[in-house]
Amino acid sequence: MFRKLPGDEARDLVSTTPDTAVVFRPAVVKTPAILTVIIWLARLVASLFRVIWRHPIAVAIPAALGVIWTLHGYQWALAVVAFTGTAVMSWALLDVNSFRGLVGWRLLAWWRLMWVYRRHWHSVMVVSGLGRHIRGRDYLPHLDKVTCTSWADLVTVKILNGQAVKDWTDRADHLAHGFGSRSCRISIARAGRLVLTFPRHDPLAAPLPAVPIPDVVSVGSVEIGRQEDGRPFRLKVHGTHVLIAGATGSGKGSYLWSVIRGLLPAMREGLAEVWALDPKRMELSFGRPLFRRRYAATPDECADLLEAAVAMMQERADRYGGVQRSHVPTIADPFVLVLVDEVAFLTAYQSDKALKHRINAALAVLTTQGRAVGVGVMAALQDPRKEVMNIRNLFPDKIALRLDESEQVDMVLGDGARDRGALADHISPVPAVGAGVGYVRLETSPDPVRVRAAYVSDDDIRAMVAQFTAFKREEVPACG
């Protein structure tokens, strides 16, 4: 039996028997006072060197002012501060972009590093479970650096040995709320290092007007909106297939019409064609003259048009075999984009089993063999479940707009997309805020990118039709 003694002997172990009591006192090793001072001074010097290494400019400025004050007096130090402040303010007013790029974002990054991230790093890591407490010592991931952009903080982190990316993606909500952001997206910088993206505000909150019709003919990729970092969002349509999934009112039409708008110069020159399948008869019917009689609305017409596309694709494949491996748009062999609005109406909700089989078979052939010969498919649907669209994995590029359930995000973009920040189920249902906002996952990158497609109004569509038909009339020679 063991018990503790009161007072100074509380840590002594006492073994008692009915006859004897033996006290075991562990030896206490006292650190000499001089050794304690040496250790404290060594830690102080190491901390100073660490501060100078990490923040050389922040250390050099007060040091320089102190030298000027000592050698020439406080008047000269104040004069230098006033002159420097005036020069910086003038620079900021005259050339805002260069000032932000060279000074502004760096200062903001330093402030955010010190006041937001380093200040709360220890508590957030421990509470979220990303830190470890082993044998009385805390092991924390290393906060490497913070980089600020116009809309977000990019925090580079060195993770602990033995941690996996999933350990962090599972705690993305903890990190976002811990550092006062609305979301956190996690991407891999290199082995052992992650980049955490914390948005400071939403640059895609306001609707975007229709992108101007380009002057240059382009078939490979077309500009249809804007990315979250402010760069134009260009969607590749030639040499790929695109699947767009989103609930009612999420803005699927903005993507369809923005792509048509971007291809309009190529359509005028005969280098591209759009074949439209419009089971709802409400979306693509506005632009029927743009499709040159390649428009279908009823299930029978849709099946016939898809099978015509398959026949054309196979005829090209016969001619290209042994001659060329990729398609180059020409007037004789233009790029053909098959647009299918509400594809689930044709593939899942069609009551005629024969028509359903024809449509599914044609779509499967086009999505497996069409890229090499210049035939692309862009399909839009509301329900991304496998039983509704069983060939969704045949679309290399995918776009998830507002979805009703979190599980649907991975159905559209692939496993783990939501953990990496594709919060399509959190997009606002208010049309003015969330319509057209989505996450794009391309074949070439596993990381989803948040984008917003421009809104193409009815008046914009009518102007496109008028411009296209006027151009075609000019091509017809006048009769003498």
- Residue 125 belongs to a domain with what CATH number? 3.30.980
193 and 247 co-located in one domain? no
Asked, for residue 32, whether it belongs to a domain, the answer is no
Q: Is residue 113 part of a domain?
A: yes
153, 146 contact by CB (below 8 A): yes
Q: Is residue 41 situated within a structural domain?
A: no
Q: Are 178 and 232 found together in one domain?
A: no
Specify the pLDDT at position 475.
57
Domain end marker among 136, 168, 201: 201
When divided into structural domains, the chain yields a total of: 2
In a domain, 389, yes or no: yes
Please report the sign of the dihedral spanned by the C-alpha atoms of residue 8, residue 12, residue 18, residue 20.
Answer: negative
At 11 the pLDDT is: 44
40, part of any domain:
no
Asked if 186 and 231 sit in the same domain, the reply is no
Kindly state whether residue 465 falls inside one of the protein's structural domains: yes
Residues 6+ apart with CB under 8 A from 336: 272, 273, 274, 275, 309, 312, 374, 375, 376
What is residue 18's predicted lDDT score, i.e. its pLDDT? 47
Contacts (Cβ under 8 Å, ≥6 apart) of 194: 156, 157, 159, 165, 168, 186, 187, 188
- The answer to whether residue 417 sits within a structural domain is yes
168 with 237, same domain: the answer is no
Give mean pLDDT in consecutive 10-residue pieces for the chain, a chain of 480 residues. 45 46 52 80 82 72 79 80 78 76 86 93 94 86 93 95 91 93 90 94 92 89 93 94 94 95 93 94 89 91 96 94 88 95 89 91 95 94 85 93 92 88 91 92 88 95 90 53
Q: Confirm whether 236 is domain-assigned.
A: yes
Q: Looking at the structure, tell me whether residues 113 and 179 fall in a common domain.
A: yes
| Domain shared by 194 and 226, yes or no | no
Is this model's pTM higher than 0.85 or not? no
Q: Same domain, yes or no, for 340 and 463? A: yes
- Say yes or no: 152 and 101 in one domain: yes
* Token pair listed for 51: 């501060």
pLDDT of amino acid 224: 95
CATH number of the domain that residue 448 is part of: 3.40.50.300
Contacts 24+ apart (CB under 8 A), 318-325: 320/372, 320/373, 325/372
CA-derived radius of gyration, the chain: 32
Residues spanned by the domain of 185: 97-201
Nearest CA among 309, 430, 331 for reference residue 379: 309
Q: List 222's β-bridge partners, or say none.
A: 235
Q: Please write the tens of the pLDDT for every residue from 95-108.
A: 777 877 778 898 89
**First CA to last CA distance, the chain:** 121
Are residues 138 and 287 located together in one domain of the fold?
A: no
Q: Which of 201, 230, 252 marks a domain boundary?
A: 201
What pLDDT is attached to residue 7? 47
- pLDDT of 432 reads 86
Q: Indicate the residue among 172, 201, 230 that finishes a domain.
A: 201
Residues 308 and 428 in one domain: yes
248 shares a domain with 169: no
Q: 312 and 187: one domain?
A: no
- What local confidence, expressed as pLDDT, does residue 336 receive? 96
